[in-house]
Amino acid sequence: MAWLYLRLKARLIRNRLRNAGGWATLAFIGIWSLAFGVGSVMGLLGGVVARLVGGQGTAALFSLAGIAWLVGPVAAAALDETIEPRRLELLPITPTQMSWGLLAASFFGPGALVTILFVVGVMVGSSPDWLSLIPTLGAGIAFVVWCIASARWVTTLLTDLLRSRAGRDIAVVGAAILGGGSAFASTFLSNGSGDPMPALAAFGRVSVYLPPGALGRSLGLLADGEWGVGLALLVYGLAAIALVMLGWQRSLFRLSTRAPGRVSEAVARGGHSPLVPRLLSGWPAPQAATAGKELRYLRRDPRFRSQAVGLAVALAFLGLGAGRMLFGTEYSPFLAVIVAWMAASTTGFNQFGFDDRSFWSYLVTGVELRSVLVGKNLAVALVGLPVLALVAVVASVLVGDARHLGSAILSGAAILAVWLAVGNVVSVLGAYPLPESNLFGSRNVSGSALFASLGGLLAAGFLSLPIAAFVVVPLLIWGTWQGLSGAGVAVVIGLLIHRLSLRVAGSLLESRALRLLEVLDKPPV
Q: Which residues contact other proteins by CB under 8 A? A: 165, 263-268, 271-272, 274-276, 284-286, 288-290, 292-293, 296-297, 300-301, 355-358, 360-367, 372, 514, 517
CB 456 within 8 A of CB 423: yes
**Which residue, 75 or 280, has its beta carbon nearer to other proteins?**
280
Tell me the three state secondary structure of residue 371.
Answer: helix
The DSSP secondary structure of 48-71, one letter per residue, reads: HHHHHHTHHHHHHHHHHHHHHHHH
**Which residue, 205 or 296, has its beta carbon nearer to other proteins?**
296
**Which residue, 36 or 297, has its beta carbon nearer to other proteins?**
297
CB 216 within 8 A of CB 136: no
**Which residue, 113 or 502, has its beta carbon nearer to other proteins?**
502
**Which residue, 367 or 459, has its beta carbon nearer to other proteins?**
367
**Which residue, 119 or 379, has its beta carbon nearer to other proteins?**
379
The CA distance from 380 to 130, in Å, is: 60
The CA distance from 406 to 485, in Å, is: 10
The minimum distance between CB 149 and other proteins, in angstroms, equals 33
Q: With CA atoms as reference, report the closest residue to 102 among 68, 61, 149, 58.
A: 149
The minimum distance between CB 508 and other proteins, in angstroms, equals 16
The CA distance from 465 to 459, in Å, is: 10
The CA distance from 20 to 338, in Å, is: 37
Q: With CA atoms as reference, report the closest residue to 376 among 436, 290, 495.
A: 290
Tell me the three state secondary structure of residue 401.
Answer: coil
The minimum distance between CB 269 and other proteins, in angstroms, equals 9
The minimum distance between CB 299 and other proteins, in angstroms, equals 9
**Which residue, 172 or 418, has its beta carbon nearer to other proteins?**
172
The minimum distance between CB 300 and other proteins, in angstroms, equals 4
* CA contacts within 13 A on the Cβ side of 155: 28
The minimum distance between CB 284 and other proteins, in angstroms, equals 8
Q: With CA atoms as reference, report the closest residue to 146 among 232, 82, 230, 214.
A: 214
**Which residue, 267 or 477, has its beta carbon nearer to other proteins?**
267
Amino acid type, 495 = L
The DSSP secondary structure of 23-51, one letter per residue, reads: HHHHHHHHHHHHHHHHHHHHHHHHHHHHH
Helix (H) or strand (E) holding 503, with range, is helix 480-520
The minimum distance between CB 21 and other proteins, in angstroms, equals 15
The CA distance from 47 to 41, in Å, is: 10
The DSSP secondary structure of 514-525, one letter per residue, reads: HHHHHHHTSPP-
The minimum distance between CB 354 and other proteins, in angstroms, equals 10
The CA distance from 434 to 283, in Å, is: 29
**Which residue, 94 or 358, has its beta carbon nearer to other proteins?**
358
**Which residue, 205 or 293, has its beta carbon nearer to other proteins?**
293
The minimum distance between CB 287 and other proteins, in angstroms, equals 9
The minimum distance between CB 523 and other proteins, in angstroms, equals 10
- Work out the widest C-alpha separation in the chain, in whole angstroms: 82
The DSSP secondary structure of 481-497, one letter per residue, reads: HHHHHHHHHHHHHHHHH
The minimum distance between CB 24 and other proteins, in angstroms, equals 20
Amino acid type, 52 = L
Torsion, Cα 396 400 405 409, to 10 degrees, reads 0
**Which residue, 268 or 496, has its beta carbon nearer to other proteins?**
268
**Which residue, 116 or 289, has its beta carbon nearer to other proteins?**
289
Q: With CA atoms as reference, report the closest residue to 412 among 340, 332, 494.
A: 340
Amino acid type, 487 = A
The minimum distance between CB 227 and other proteins, in angstroms, equals 53
CB 136 within 8 A of CB 219: yes
CB 50 within 8 A of CB 220: yes
The minimum distance between CB 265 and other proteins, in angstroms, equals 5
**Which residue, 80 or 355, has its beta carbon nearer to other proteins?**
355
CA distances from 293 to 96, 172, 376, 377, 419 (A): 48, 21, 9, 12, 21
